[in-house]
Amino acid sequence: MPQIWIIDDDDEMIHAVELMLKLLDCTVSAYRSARIAVQDLMQGKRPDVILLDINMPEVSGIDMLEFLRRQESFKNIPVVMLSSETTDVQVDQAMALGANAFVFKPVSIEELEEALKTALTRN
């Protein structure tokens, strides 16, 4: 079972995506902020894929993605970006920074499954 981290500040979205991931036989850890997820990464915890919201307070998903791709020990973790308010510029920026896939909210289980397959095979 792949270990998936959800990093999103919206509790309802976390809950919905978590349920879908469990239906897809994934184990899930949820984080309401990028800072807490980074702390776990620094302590040696490692997901198979990160689902990362773009619009979050404190540290945006774009900033988190950029951080991950600059760190030798984290740069190969597949990242699927999530967002409800996204411009083409944000999508292009995320993909240029190394996002493996992009999913628009509200997320369907089919889109999520496809994004996970894409992220895991591109890595």
99-110 residue pLDDT tens: 999 999 999 999
pLDDT tens-place string over residues 108-119 = 999 999 999 999
- Determine the structural domain holding residue 32 and report its residue range: 3-122
pLDDT of residue 118: 94
The CA distances from residue 36 to 9, 46, 82, 88, in Å, are 12, 13, 18, 28
- pLDDT per position as a tens digit, 42-83: 999 999 999 999 999 999 999 999 999 999 999 999 999 998
Q: How far apart are CA 36 and CA 19, in angstroms?
A: 21
Pairing of strands 49-53, 101-104: unpaired
- The phi, psi pair for 10, rounded to 5°, reads -100, 110
Domain count, the chain: 1
Provide the CATH number for the domain around residue 49: 3.40.50.2300
Tell me if 59 sits within 8 A of 35, measured CB to CB. Answer: yes
pLDDT given at position 123: 60
What is the pTM for the complete model shown? 0.95
